[in-house]
Amino acid sequence: MINSKKILFMILWLTCLALQAASQRIGENTVLRPQITAKPPVIDGVLDDPAWSSGPIINDPFIINNPVYGTPLPEKTKVWITYDPDNLYFAFYCYDDPSKIKGTLTKRDNIFNEDWIDVDIDAMGNRQFTLENACNPLGVQGDLINSASGGESADPDWVWYSAGRVVADGYIVEMRIPLKSIKFKSGENVTMHMGFYRNQSHSGTNSSWPQIDQKIGYFNSLTPVLFEKLDNQLRLEALPSVTYGSIWDRQAPEKWSAADDATQFGLGIKYGITSSVNTELTVNPDFSQVESDQFQVVANQRYPIFYSEKRPFFMDINNQFNLAGTNGPTNMGTAVHTRNIVDPAWGGKLSGELNKFSFGVLTAGDEWPGQSFAGLPSPFPDENANYFIGRMKYSLKGEDYFGLLFSGREFGDSFNRVLAGDLRFRLPGGHSISVNGIYTLSRDTDVPENSAGDAFTVLYNYDQKPLSMTFVLEGYSRDFRMDSAFYLQNGITRFTGFIAPKLYPRAGNGLGITRVTPQLYGYYSHSRFSGLDDIFIQPGIRFNLTRNSYLELDYSFNREGWLDRSFNQHLMEAYWGAVPARWLNLHGSASYGTALRYDFTKPFLGNRINFHIGAQFQPNDRIAQSFEYTYQDFHRADTKEHVFDLNILVSRTTYQFNKSLFVRGLIQYDSYSKKVITDLLASFTLIPGTVLYVGYGSLYREQFWDGADAAWKRQPGMGSYYQTTQSLFIKASYLWRF
Q: What is the DSSP string of 591-636?
A: EEEEEEE--SSS-EEEEEEEEEEEEEE-SSSSEEEEEEEEEEEEEE
pLDDT mean across residues, the chain: 90
Q: Which of 272, 307, 266 is nearest to 290 (CA)?
A: 307
Other CB atoms closer than 10 Å to residue 571's CB: what's the count? 17
Name the residue ranges covered by the structural domains of the chain. 31-230, 506-673
Separation between Cα atoms, residue 363 and residue 366, nearest integer Å: 10
- 109 in Cβ contact with 116 (< 8 Å): no
Q: Which of the four CATH numbers 3.30.70.20, 2.60.40.1190, 1.10.10.10, 1.10.4080.10 does domain 31-230 have?
A: 2.60.40.1190
Query: Is the predicted pLDDT of residue 170 greater than 90, yes or no?
Result: yes
CA 450, CA 471: separation in Å to the nearest integer?
A: 34
- CA–CA gap between residue 539 and residue 554 (Å, rounded): 6
Handedness of CA 380, 385, 386, 389 (dihedral sign): positive
For 49, half-sphere exposure in the C-beta direction (CA atoms, 13 angstrom radius) is 21
The tens digit of pLDDT for each residue in 376-411 reads 888 888 899 999 999 999 999 888 999 999 999 999
Q: What is the pLDDT of residue 23?
A: 45
What digits encode the pLDDT tens for the residues 484-497?
999 999 999 999 99
- Indicate if the pLDDT at residue 96 is higher than 70: yes
Whether 406 contacts 419, CB under 8 Å: yes
Distance CA 339, CA 347 (A): 14
Q: What's this model's pTM, rounded to 2 decimal places?
A: 0.88
Give the number of other Cβ atoms within 10 Å of residue 714's Cβ: 11
> Residue 608: CB partners within 8 Å, gap ≥ 6?
571, 591, 592, 593, 594, 595, 632, 633, 634
Determine the 3-state secondary structure of 571 from DSSP: strand
Q: From CA 703, how far away is CA 256, in angstroms rounded?
A: 16
Specify the pLDDT at position 30. Answer: 83
Predicted confidence (pLDDT) at residue 213 exceeds the cutoff of 80: yes
The predicted structure's pLDDT at residue 292: 43
pLDDT mean over 673-693? 92
Q: Which residue has the higher pLDDT, 447 or 425?
A: 425
DSSP letter at 114 equals S
pLDDT of 287 reads 59
Where does the pLDDT of residue 40 fall: very low under 50, low under 70, confident under 90, or very high at 90 and above?
very high
Provide the residue type at 580 as one letter: P
At residue 398, the pLDDT reads: 86
Confidence band of 606 (pLDDT split at 50, 70, 90) = very high
What is the helix, strand, coil percentage profile of the chain, to 5? Answer: 5, 55, 35
How many Å apart are CA 578 and CA 587, to the nearest integer? Answer: 6
Helix residue spans in 242-388 (DSSP H)? 317-321
Model confidence band, residue 314 (pLDDT cutoffs 50, 70, 90): confident
Lowest-pLDDT range of 4-18, 35-49, 194-208, 265-279: 4-18
640 pLDDT higher than 90: yes
Model pLDDT, residue 512? 83
Q: Is 179 helix (H, G, I), strand (E, B) or coil?
A: helix
d(CA 46, CA 713): 63
* pLDDT at site 22: 46
